[in-house]
Structure 1
Amino acid sequence: MKTRRAICALIVALTAAGCSAPETATRNAPLDTTPAIISVPSYDIQDIRVSVPKSLKVSEANRYYPGGDIVWREDPAGDRHAQVKAIFEDAMRQGVDAMRPGKVPAILDIQVTRFHALTEKARYTVGGVHSLQFHMLLRDPETGLAYGEPQFVKADFKALGGQAAIKAESKGLTQKYRITTHLASVIQRQLGSPNGYQAASLGLMGALNQLGASNTN
């Protein structure tokens, strides 16, 4: 009888040890630090539609930092909304054409909310910031339904001034060229990166431009 009890006790002890072992191993196992891979849908952009609302205020004042949503001087005086629309259309097309077509057909809708380049006074003295901001939305070409919510894109970047601006212009690197090239790169990052385009910090000048955007939009 004593022998049977001893055997039973030994079996219970071994069973308990076997049940507790996985828990201890799990508790002591290193954490899995492998970053999760976030996939980005690959879009086949079949059409690009740019809108520049007439509600955006145009400023023709030649000051260092005029108010308004649209400040643009490199084209002749005229319909600034139409001129900004043409620049965005050219830039978006350049950016999309440079990308490999994806699998998801889409229409790219762009609504400009701010296009603040430099005035003559700022261009040939202190320089500043090209404040370029827009909303982006992707749609199904067949149904017109949106793929998700509109995305706000802040594409501000440093604008040349003084001798740097003059030197750049002598090489054909005008404001229009730099803005178009920059926006083309921005839309590529926005479409191809999980986090979209992230504007660089532009210090105090960038903060002032953002404040101006908040006050006018």
Structure 2
Amino acid sequence: MKLKAGLALVAALALAGCDAGQVVSRSAGTASAVTGLIGGEAGQVPVAASYNVTRLDVIVPRSLRVSEENTYVPRADIVWHGDRLGDRYEQVRSIMTEAAQRGTAGMHSGTPVTVQVEIMRFHALTPKARYTFGGNFATRFLLTVRDARSGAVIDGPRIVVADCPASGGQRAMEEEAAGITQRMVIVDHVSGVFQRELSRRIVLPGAEAAVSRNAFQPSDLGLIQ
């Protein structure tokens, strides 16, 4: 009986940390509106991009549900225990802003753009999970890139999945003793995701022809000639 209970718990943790398709509670409506724009869908075309990022806006909607429960699998949109108890929305915004700024730090040439990031899910580990099995830091956000001059949407809105492994047990304690915090791990990983996602655009077949008929030129958009 103990073995079965342990296997069930491991399975539950894996589902909580790795389920890229599940967007909890109030985020679900937004996700369904952009299902056709999720990276990897059939018919989409990744195109190289070169941007000069002039502004970053990170939005953490207050409609997202926060959990302070110290359980293995809290049912919530935001789970964050890496800072002292406080405004979790602002804490998440700070983390994601730092990651976005780091990921776009070298983007100063190409089409001037603004980047909007709307958080849909930010699910780190509770202390109970962190000091036992570990799991995944599960992050989802809606990415929209706009031309800074006209405001026209260049890329998105599309859902970006930015999950990464989260250490547990003895390894987690060793990382903390070495000064490696959960925030550091998340920022380091997510900054790389921003860099990758903003070095390409996801377009539908025929979209390039539509773009060329507008005010933009292919060179402005950083397209491969």
In the superposition, the TM-score normalised over structure 2's length comes to 0.67
CA–CA distance in 2 between the matches of 1:149 and 1:39?
13
Structure 1 residue 41, shift from structure 2 partner? 2.0
Structure-1 residue corresponding to 2:207: none
RMSD (Å) for aligned C-alpha atoms = 1.8
Q: Please say if residues 113 and 145 of structure 2, whose CA atoms lie closer than 8 Å, have aligned partners that are also in contact.
A: yes
- Asked if 1:84 is matched to 2:82, the reply is no
The DSSP-based 3-state class of the residue aligned with 2:74 is: coil
Report the structure, 1 or 2, having the larger strand content.
Answer: 2
- Between the aligned residues of both structures, percent identity stands at 40
Structure 1 residue 71, shift from structure 2 partner? 0.3
Q: Of the two structures, which has the highest relative contact order with CA contacts closer than 8 Å and spacing of 6 or more?
A: 2
CA–CA distance in 2 between the matches of 1:111 and 1:194?
18
Structure-1 residue corresponding to 2:18: none
CA–CA distance in 1 between the matches of 2:89 and 2:155?
27
Structure 1 residue 100, shift from structure 2 partner? 4.3
Structure 1 residue 170, shift from structure 2 partner? 1.2
- Asked if 1:104 is matched to 2:129, the reply is no
Structure-2 residue corresponding to 1:168: 175
User: How many pairs does the alignment contain?
Assistant: 159
- Asked if 1:189 is matched to 2:189, the reply is no
Structure 1 residue 146, shift from structure 2 partner? 1.2
Structure-2 residue corresponding to 1:138: 145
Alignment counterpart, residue 128 of structure 2, candidates 121, 134, 144: 121
Structure 1 residue 48, shift from structure 2 partner? 0.3
CA–CA distance in 2 between the matches of 1:127 and 1:111?
26
CA–CA distance in 1 between the matches of 2:174 and 2:200?
34
The DSSP-based 3-state class of the residue aligned with 2:190 is: helix
Unpaired runs of at least 5, structure 2: 1-45, 203-225
Structure-1 residue corresponding to 2:213: none
Structure 1: 4+ residue segments shifted above 6 A: none
Unpaired runs of at least 5, structure 1: 1-37, 196-217
- Asked if 1:44 is matched to 2:48, the reply is no
User: Which has the larger Rg?
Assistant: 1
